[in-house]
Chains A and B, each alone.
Chain A
Amino acid sequence: MEFGTIEREIYIEATPELVFDVVSSPDHLKQWWPDDARYEPVPGSAGEIVFGDCDAGGKRVAFTVVDARPPQTFSFRWTHPAGEVAAAGNSLLVTFELTPSGCGTLLRMTETGFREMGWEAALLEEQYREHLIGWNNFLPRLAPYVAMLRVPS
């Protein structure tokens, strides 16, 4: 695994068409990620996702759909500066790939662009994280070591 890339895979007992809808439509996105989502789920659509209440310290984050091919692929870029066109180097690229598997769907997610962007995005994520359960492979080996350390604040 590249540290500049996050890769995840999860099996879902639902059809690819249904899963595609859940990962791509703004109404569904709001259920599993931001508090609000404004974009059209079609390639090139530029919009935003919102975390919290913008009148009370919330945050708007740029969101641009890159690819939408139901029911196989949905990808978008986010975290580019407002007003800038999303491109490699100014944003993170998230790609969902859906494959039929048994009676359900294998959903594969990759997020890339961290190395190009530096740590800003990681810090942004940290504000909204809900759990700290660690990475699948690298972290378990490090966890006992890290537990002995104090993370500087």
Chain B
Amino acid sequence: MNAATIDAVDDDLWSAIGDPTRRRMLDALLIDGAGTATTLGHRLAITRQGTAKHLGVLERAGLVRATPAGREKRYRIDDAQFARAVAQLSSVGSAWDARLRRIKRIAEAIQQAQND
């Protein structure tokens, strides 16, 4: 895969996971293991059409994979792509956690010195 392809895939990932409905779908798939547009639509109380559209976005981002199941498709989480997304997102968040802890430590040390 060349760099341009990787960038395109990554943009899709951010967009796919940036939507709250799609995150609920990922949650449901994590818990249930698999689902179709119909079962996910029932579970999340959204239309089958809406569900199918969101599943399409998740599939293009590589976060889910579809296999034929009768007249529908059955979707599962793609473990590798999903783990990759979580790892990268968590690294950004944890970097800020560490920075904010340092900000707190520095500011409180200065304040303490001023109070003494």
Contacts and interface: CB of A to CB of B under 8 A. Distances in A.
Partners in one complex: yes
Interface of A: 2-4, 6, 8, 10, 12-15, 18-19, 22-23, 28, 31-33, 105, 107, 109, 111, 114-115, 118-123, 125-126, 128-136, 138-139, 141-142, 145-146, 149-152
B57 to A, nearest CB: 13
Given A8-B100, A138-B23, A146-B87, 16 more contacts: A3-B14, A10-B101, A19-B107, A22-B103, A32-B99, A33-B102, A107-B100, A109-B100, A118-B10, A122-B89, A126-B92, A131-B98, A135-B90, A149-B83, A151-B80, A152-B83
A149 B77 CA distance: 12
B108 interface: yes
Contact of A6 (B80, B86, B93, B98): B93
B84 A152 contact: yes
Chain B CB within 10 A, most for which of A105, A107, A121, A145 = A145
A141 to B, nearest CB: 7
Main secondary structure of the interface of B (DSSP, over half): helix
Contact of A12 (B14, B20, B86, B104): B104
B94 A122 contact: no
B44 to A, nearest CB: 16
A63 B92 CA distance: 18
A19 B95 CA distance: 19
A122 B96 CA distance: 12
B17 interface: yes
B6 to A, nearest CB: 8
B30 interface: yes
